[in-house]
Structure 1
Amino acid sequence: MQFSIITELKNRKASDVIVFPFWEGAKRAKAAASLGSFDAEVKLPIETGDFTGGEGEILLIYTKGNKEQRCLLLGLGKEGEIAHDGLRLCFAKLAKFLIKHEFLTVNLVFPHVAEFRGMTVEEGLGHIVTGLLLSNYQFGYHVNEKIKKLLEHVTLIGVLPEMLTIIKKCQQISEGVYLARDLINGNAHEVTPTCLANLSKKIAANHQAVSLTLFDKSRILKEKMGLLAAVARGSAEDPVLIILSYKGAPRVKDHTVIVGKGITFDTGGLNLKPTGSIESMRDDMSGAATALATLATVAELGLKKNITAVVPSTENAIGSTSFKPGDVFYGYNGKTVEIGNTDAEGRLILADALAYTVKNLKPSRIIDLATLTGSMVIALGDGIAGMMSNDDKLSRDLITAGENTAEPLWRLPLFSPYKEQLSSDIADLKNVGGRPGGAITAALFLQEFVDHVPWAHIDIAGTAFLNKEKGYWPKNGVGFGVRLLINFLERL
């Protein structure tokens, strides 16, 4: 979607529709911007109460004698009461309405800034543009009839030219979200470890400040990453470890490492997932998608930060050489792990990636993202991601970022007595505990591989992939976490 801006209503060009924002008044809707020659057109539906200006309310009317034949009234709710995400959601709803009716070119009158209490003009514009962009997405469906026409051009009326930089930034961040969604939604036979490696090569080639190190199967074995290698044993696809580094501040030591789980399809291994659970398991690389998309977006934005995305990637497939329950393998840090369940594979590949990061990449902090446990879905549902961390400041900063982007995090405890569930008679650790506190025991397992580096584990099992759309989150791959991480990194 392209954007342009003009300062005055009279200077607009013809479009499929013009949109005017309204507040919900005590008695009747109140225009949130100048109506120009449309004042008479909107008078009747407001006086009759057919349009009240309620938050997210939309009314389509037809006009004569104007540059547009159609006019949309968009309700923003009570004046001064709309929340940051409420503004995003209003314009997300608008975008869906426009797409449904195939209104592809839009003149959009910007609301008066003074009426956004507690919100700057920059914030308001960013929320409006983000709401439009995040809803203007579809994955390339394989059934032609399902392909929708998306918004092509929006002209923002009443916006100063210098605000184009804000719009461009919103577009760059939304492109990162689109990238994550596309990776999650793609066929598992196409979005393979090799595919993720090739994407990383493209990101590095497109940005001078980005460098790439790839470990193939032989290098993984040479580095004694026994846990990643074990999970990969049953797959015809070779595993990879991706280390994609962006140096936006080469003279600064501060370094954030984002580790993303990259299981490109999860059968569960020999502990096979049942029908009803296995069908969507192409989403088990959502953490990897978020990590790579965030790194690409950071490079596009040119942030003055040092950030590395580390992605251990493999399939968890079934074959004659698959790893088996009861097997013991060495991790990169030398700890031995008994396999209690082959469907607890994500923590295994993360363990090697985390241990390698701690030893070799000199991280100031580590954030890992993974669709790790069904327990987290049961605990928090599909609207909140769970987080566990060994560092209070890191936790607070991530929670604040999630509040800013409406990607909420809820911190759970790293309750050390639960670690007893991971004890093994034949190894240092077992890769599963009991059913109680499963999300916590998974994080306690990962903690064994981060030493004392500030670290946060974000379990996105519930938020990465939705069964139905919610607001500006589409059905299937969401891209949860990209905007959150960008917000967090900007404020470091």
Structure 2
Amino acid sequence: MELRFQCLGPEHWKADILLAPVCRDEVLHEASPALDKAAPWLAIAPAARDFHGKTSELALMHGHPQQNIPRVLAVGLGRREDMTPAVLREALAGAVRFCRDHGYASLLLPEALLARLPGGRERLVEEAAYAALLALYDFRDLKKEDPEAPVDPQWLTLAFEGEYVPDAAHAAARRGERAAQAVMLARDLANTPPNMLAPQDLAERASRIAHQQGLRCTVLDEEALRAEEMGALLAVGRGSARPPRLVVLEYAPEGHEQDKPLVLVGKGITFDTGGICLKPGAKMHTMKCDMTGAATVLAVLTALAEEDVPRRVVGLLACAENMPDGGACRPGDVVRAASGDTVEIQNTDAEGRLVLCDALSYAQKMWTPAAVVDIATLTGACAVALGTEVAGLFSDDDALVERILAAGQVGGEHFWRLPLWKGYEKNLKSQVADICHMGPREGGAIHAALFLKHFVSDGVRWAHLDIAGVDWADSVQPLGVCGATGFGARTLLELARGGV
């Protein structure tokens, strides 16, 4: 669906259907003079009396078919005092899907209806664009065309009353559009079957995107990884016929080439069997999503380049496939990480922290970061602790934590800060190596975070996002279907937009 803009006043607006978000118990046709002018017949529409504006309530009203606006879909937002951008997102997403299911090609949303709501004019314009585009997401690339399937609307028009579209509102809508595109790219990558997205495939995809967007891209193959002494990353990929890669993306707009970069590090396990410590078969197919961290980093760098954000950002995609063949690493193996530390591997299904530790070392070797944020579907323990709606956040930097929480709040991605409990560091001691890569089952997410922290130098601002549990949806969500969620893409995009 294309995002368009229209002005010159409600008498000139034209669309198959107008979306009218209003709060509870507000008279629909009195919600805005613009609405009354665009669809004057609303005052006598019988269905308007049956609409109460409850949260996500929808009511379709018909005028004469020859009018510029022959239909209005009233969209309930609940009580005005409870209205938030999140409420608007979910309500508009439901309205847009309703329009798709009923075959409406052109949708119109009066900006005046958003301006009168609590939350800020530009902020709500951004969220409206984001929600409308993301609501229609579906991964259809590998399916035959279904002639019976509903067709997406062709466009959503944001309508303004003046003679021109205000620059701030236009910019806000485009921000929402780019955020939606970033989440959809992350979802597309994570939904791609693992036989079609090996580490080298993901690296090639990143290279193509980088070329299109003007990003700098370097791909470290096995030989380069050995030269960098990335024994931990190489160990994870040892059991696969498809070798690992480290993808390095850099966005450095003119005038910011020498800035200290924000470095984003994503776990890119394109499929995780668990290796020798084989996972149970149930739901193993969802392990194609174990590269969601890398997918979100790639999506964020793409969006930053399109938006021309004035700051330097580096993205590292630590990619491998965790498979169990005769060459696979074993429980009890000791490998040498890029930091020079020897690492005892006790469970090959705790592979994500191994690829990340080498990527973290590389980030600090190559740059002096303003901050480093890694994102990974790292531990089932985090999913058990926080469920399917909240991700884990680990950091000793209070200011960075607040920035990440605020960035997540913008797009409705929720994080909960968990402790880097120093007392648990003793659980990572090894009898045969410098460090063991895991501790006991209890506190598993904390032990994983402490292992990563071991590879972060003193004084480097660092945060770890554990998105296990929120990367995949088993049921339809307000802003998406079943499958990959792209969780984290908007948070990291907002973090990069706002600085750290």
* In structure 1, C-alpha distance between the alignment counterparts of 2:48 and 2:483, rounded to whole Å: 42
Q: Does 1:490 align with 2:490?
A: no
* In structure 2, C-alpha distance between the alignment counterparts of 1:306 and 1:173, rounded to whole Å: 18
Q: What SS does the aligned partner of 2:78 have?
A: strand
> Cα distance, 1:406 vs. partner?
1.2
1:184-242 deviation line (CA, Å, top 9, x unaligned): 0001111121122112212321233x211211011111211101111111101011111
Match of 2:91 in 1: 90
* In structure 2, C-alpha distance between the alignment counterparts of 1:47 and 1:327, rounded to whole Å: 70
* In structure 2, C-alpha distance between the alignment counterparts of 1:40 and 1:16, rounded to whole Å: 15
1:396-426 deviation line (CA, Å, top 9, x unaligned): 1111111122111111000011122222111
Match of 1:345 in 2: 351
> Cα distance, 1:252 vs. partner?
4.5
Q: What SS does the aligned partner of 1:128 have?
A: helix
Aligned partner letter, 1:282: K
Q: Are the aligned partners of 2:47 and 2:61 in contact in 1 as well (CA < 8 Å)?
A: no
* In structure 2, C-alpha distance between the alignment counterparts of 1:147 and 1:481, rounded to whole Å: 30
* In structure 1, C-alpha distance between the alignment counterparts of 2:268 and 2:334, rounded to whole Å: 22
Match of 2:226 in 1: 221
Q: Are the aligned partners of 2:428 and 2:437 in contact in 1 as well (CA < 8 Å)?
A: yes
Aligned partner letter, 1:478: T
Aligned partner letter, 1:219: A
* In structure 2, C-alpha distance between the alignment counterparts of 1:406 and 1:478, rounded to whole Å: 12
TM-score (norm 1): 0.94
Q: Are the aligned partners of 1:54 and 1:76 in contact in 2 as well (CA < 8 Å)?
A: yes
* In structure 1, C-alpha distance between the alignment counterparts of 2:109 and 2:142, rounded to whole Å: 33
> Cα distance, 1:300 vs. partner?
0.8
Q: Are the aligned partners of 2:236 and 2:321 in contact in 1 as well (CA < 8 Å)?
A: yes
* In structure 2, C-alpha distance between the alignment counterparts of 1:197 and 1:21, rounded to whole Å: 43
Aligned partner letter, 1:320: G
1:252-291 deviation line (CA, Å, top 9, x unaligned): 5321100000000000001001021412100000000001
Question: Counterparts of 1:38-437 in structure 2 under 5 Å?
Answer: 38-41=39-42, 43-45=44-46, 48=49, 50-64=50-64, 65-79=66-80, 81-112=82-113, 115-117=116-118, 119-140=119-140, 142-144=142-144, 145=146, 148-158=150-160, 160-162=164-166, 163-208=169-214, 210-248=215-253, 249-250=255-256, 252-437=258-443
Aligned partner letter, 2:349: D
* In structure 2, C-alpha distance between the alignment counterparts of 1:251 and 1:360, rounded to whole Å: 14
Aligned partner letter, 1:120: G
* In structure 2, C-alpha distance between the alignment counterparts of 1:311 and 1:294, rounded to whole Å: 12
TM-score (norm 2): 0.93
Q: Does 1:450 align with 2:459?
A: no
Q: Are the aligned partners of 2:257 and 2:312 in contact in 1 as well (CA < 8 Å)?
A: no
> Cα distance, 1:80 vs. partner?
5.4
- Stretch of structure 1 that moved more, 450-459 or 167-176: 167-176
* In structure 1, C-alpha distance between the alignment counterparts of 2:269 and 2:149, rounded to whole Å: 28
* In structure 1, C-alpha distance between the alignment counterparts of 2:313 and 2:284, rounded to whole Å: 33
Question: Counterparts of 1:21-36 in structure 2 under 5 Å?
Answer: 21-25=21-25, 31-33=30-32, 34-36=35-37
Aligned partner letter, 1:70: R
Q: Are the aligned partners of 1:24 and 1:30 in contact in 2 as well (CA < 8 Å)?
A: no
Q: Are the aligned partners of 1:231 and 1:314 in contact in 2 as well (CA < 8 Å)?
A: yes
Q: What SS does the aligned partner of 2:6 have?
A: strand
1:130-168 deviation line (CA, Å, top 9, x unaligned): 110111211125343385422211122235513333222
- Gaps in structure 1 of 5+ consecutive residues: none
* In structure 2, C-alpha distance between the alignment counterparts of 1:81 and 1:400, rounded to whole Å: 19
Aligned partner letter, 1:445: F
Q: Are the aligned partners of 1:17 and 1:69 in contact in 2 as well (CA < 8 Å)?
A: yes
1:44-99 deviation line (CA, Å, top 9, x unaligned): 54674x21122211111332252344332222223454112111111111111112
In the superposition, relative to structure 1, how do residues 454 and 147 fare at CA in structure 2: closer, same or farther (>3 Å)?
farther
Q: Are the aligned partners of 1:23 and 1:30 in contact in 2 as well (CA < 8 Å)?
A: no
Q: Are the aligned partners of 1:384 and 1:410 in contact in 2 as well (CA < 8 Å)?
A: yes
Q: Are the aligned partners of 2:136 and 2:480 in contact in 1 as well (CA < 8 Å)?
A: no
- Stretch of structure 1 that moved more, 435-444 or 187-196: 187-196
* In structure 2, C-alpha distance between the alignment counterparts of 1:307 and 1:227, rounded to whole Å: 25
Aligned partner letter, 1:465: W
Q: What SS does the aligned partner of 1:189 have?
A: helix
> Cα distance, 1:370 vs. partner?
0.2
Match of 1:16 in 2: 16
Q: Are the aligned partners of 1:32 and 1:111 in contact in 2 as well (CA < 8 Å)?
A: no
1:431-455 deviation line (CA, Å, top 9, x unaligned): 2211111000000010111112110
Q: What SS does the aligned partner of 1:55 have?
A: coil
Q: Does 1:464 align with 2:471?
A: yes
Aligned partner letter, 1:83: T
> Cα distance, 1:378 vs. partner?
0.8
Aligned partner letter, 2:7: I
Matched-pair identity in %: 34
Q: Are the aligned partners of 1:368 and 1:456 in contact in 2 as well (CA < 8 Å)?
A: yes
Q: What SS does the aligned partner of 2:39 have?
A: helix
In the superposition, relative to structure 1, how do residues 147 and 419 fare at CA in structure 2: closer, same or farther (>3 Å)?
farther
> Cα distance, 1:36 vs. partner?
2.6
* In structure 2, C-alpha distance between the alignment counterparts of 1:363 and 1:107, rounded to whole Å: 44
* In structure 2, C-alpha distance between the alignment counterparts of 1:297 and 1:37, rounded to whole Å: 35
Q: Are the aligned partners of 1:287 and 1:370 in contact in 2 as well (CA < 8 Å)?
A: yes
Q: Are the aligned partners of 1:367 and 1:456 in contact in 2 as well (CA < 8 Å)?
A: yes
**How many aligned residue pairs are there?**
487
Aligned partner letter, 1:245: E
* In structure 2, C-alpha distance between the alignment counterparts of 1:285 and 1:241, rounded to whole Å: 13
Aligned partner letter, 1:425: Q
Aligned partner letter, 2:238: R
Q: What SS does the aligned partner of 1:261 have?
A: strand
